[in-house]
Amino acid sequence: MASSLTTFTDEAKIALDTLSGRATGLFSPSLRLGVTGLSRAGKTVFISAFVHNLIHGGRLPLFSAQKSGRIARAFLEEQPDDAVPRFQYEDHVAALVNDRLWPDSTRAISELRLTIEYESASAWSRMFSSGRLSVDIVDYPGEWLLDLPLLGKSYVDFSREAFEMAVLPVRADLSQEWRSLSAAVDQNADADEMTARRLAESFAAYLKACKLDERALSTLPPGRFLMPGDLEGSPALTFAPLPGLSERRARSGSLQAMMERRYEAYKTYVVKPFFREHITRLDRQIVVIDALQALNAGPGAMADLERAVTEILACFRPGRSNFLTDFFSRRIDRILVAATKADHLHHESHDRLQAIVRRLADRAVARANFTGADVDVVALAAVRATSEGTVKQGRETLPVIIGTPLKGEKINGETFDGRTETAIFPGDLPEKIDAVFDVSGPDHRQNPGHRQSNEDPAIRFVRFRPPKLERTAEGVTLSLPHIRLDRALQFLIGDHLA
Ligand SMILES: Nc1nc2c(ncn2[C@@H]2O[C@H](COP(=O)(O)OP(=O)(O)OP(=O)(O)O)[C@@H](O)[C@H]2O)c(=O)[nH]1
Ligand SMILES: [Mg+2]
């Protein structure tokens, strides 16, 4: 009796929660905005700048609610999900503004609720809208998203594809050690924990090596091998693909059977809950990419970035798999693909960068056969670390960018101390964008993996410290400078404040 009573109250409570959730939703609408991208792409900096500019009334001429003075205030509120870590906004902003340091890498999911009080532009909407919008911002690793395709793949498929990717010229040398280790094991031998661990560690080391700066390759699944979160060392993360598997059922008790079971556990306990609890509840999505890094590494890295964006977009395609159709409770209607760090280029190149991202996103949309949401692109800098100027060199006047390179950064043999401002000529992006995608071009054929360090990259890429913020006479720091962040805001939330 007692237990059925609990069941009843639990159920009633869930029903009530849902009802009251709906009711509050009516009076104070909320919008769930997903922010994703591969590691180091710029998610944390983007969210910090997004929130900071709204709270502090930053200069946002392309964000119409702000421009027309209709935003009364924006402030942080308690987030709706108790079990998700909070996005540590205050820490990130303190690092950026006070210490002029970039925030630490975050590597897991986090959430923040920003509430905006505004006045609608039309008298009609003013009568019906609450004048409040809560934006729930969810920051999560793109690596985790790239796991979705695993749901439709058996362990044998996963293994075969992993080996196919590993022997491609861009990865062959990096995967060498793992492949030889795999070749030496017998998948039919008795399952052995140490063998499983050695293979898993070697496989993870190969996946990590692909991400190193000079390769700049995008990620291969399983995403948690790179971003384990709290699952590090669990059996669901201790498996690896095996070579040359047939479709025949693995012998029970064999190494293959063990690996297969763990692969299935990874899907059940890691991939599915993540999608159900987080991805299917999103309304809008921004995918942050580091296109400059890929451009610098050459067409192979660009092709790889395009593959990752294609797979990411495919995850948001409604009705993709039975699993997702069952769970999508909301529908994502807008997706923004944003190339950040545009402040590494002179403004003359910003439109070119945007054109490159447009091409990449268009191809990804076509390849993912994606419909159902508006996809837009932007080249932006969430935090602008540089200013612009010109330098005379002989008769020529060169456009330069001026900033404080991070301690230890090097240009032409000079190493910076993290305090000295310097002007650098960043280089131009090519006018004809075909070349940057052309994996059959001479640039790529000579060197399919990556540029040699002695080759001149497209852009001279130095990492700068965050900017020094101006203070007013009253000692108030002004908002964080940016490039086209307002355009991103307008696309992502502008229509909800109209
Ligand atoms: N100049 C400049 N650098 C940026 C900008 N955004 C990000 N960066 C650089 O990119 C690095 C990574 O940015 P994060 O925002 O931490 O990236 P993330 O996607 O959150 O990375 P993880 O938390 O590791 O997944 C920063 O440490 C900066 O060096 C920007 O707008 N301008
Ligand atoms: Mg982060």
Helix (H) or strand (E) run with residue 246 in it: none
- Confirm or reject: Cβ of 324 under 6 Å from ligand 1: no
Contact, 44 vs 295, CB < 8 A? no
Report the separation in Å between the CA atom of 108 and the middle of ligand 1, taken as the mean of its atom positions: 15
User: Look-up: residue for tokens 């009251």?
Assistant: 20
- Confirm or reject: Cβ of 299 under 6 Å from ligand 1: no
CA distances from 271 to 88, 139, 246, 356, 365 (A): 25, 17, 25, 32, 23
Report the separation in Å between the CA atom of 398 and the middle of ligand 2, taken as the mean of its atom positions: 35
Structural tokens at position 259: 């690996």
pLDDT in tens, 293-304: 888 888 888 888
- Confirm or reject: Cβ of 487 under 6 Å from ligand 1: no
Residue 325: the pLDDT is 52
- Confirm or reject: Cβ of 45 under 6 Å from ligand 1: yes
- Confirm or reject: Cβ of 322 under 6 Å from ligand 1: no
Atom 10, ligand 1: residue with shortest CA distance: 42
Pocket probe mutation, ligand 1, options 36, 39, 43, 45, max atoms within 8 Å of Cβ: 45
- Spatial neighbors of 142 by CB under 8 A, at least 6 apart, are 36, 37, 38, 39, 41, 219, 287, 308, 312
- Confirm or reject: Cβ of 280 under 6 Å from ligand 1: no
- Spatial neighbors of 85 by CB under 8 A, at least 6 apart, are 108, 109, 110, 111
Give the DSSP letter string of 446-490.
H-SS---TTSPPSS----BPPPPPPB-TTSPBPPPP-BSHHHHHH
Residue 114: the pLDDT is 97
pLDDT in tens, 61-98: 999 999 999 999 999 999 999 989 999 999 999 999 99
Pocket probe mutation, ligand 1, options 35, 38, 44, 139, max atoms within 8 Å of Cβ: 44
- Confirm or reject: Cβ of 426 under 6 Å from ligand 1: no
User: Look-up: residue for tokens 């797979």?
Assistant: 311
- Burial of 431-453, coded b for 16+ CB within 10 Å and e otherwise, reads eebeebbbeeeebbeeeebbbee
Where the chain has pLDDT below 70, the residues are 1-27, 126-130, 213-214, 216, 218, 318-330, 441-460, 475-477
Residue 329: the pLDDT is 55
Residue 435: the pLDDT is 79
Residue 107: the pLDDT is 79
Residue 126: the pLDDT is 65
Return the bridge partners of 387, or none: 402
What span, in angstroms and rounded, lies between the C-alpha atoms of 233 and 130?
A: 48
Contact, 493 vs 31, CB < 8 A? yes
Residue of 294, 108, 287 whose CA lies nearest to 211: 294
Residue 394: the pLDDT is 87
Instruction: Please tell me the pTM assigned to this model.
Output: 0.86
The number of residues making up the chain comes to 498
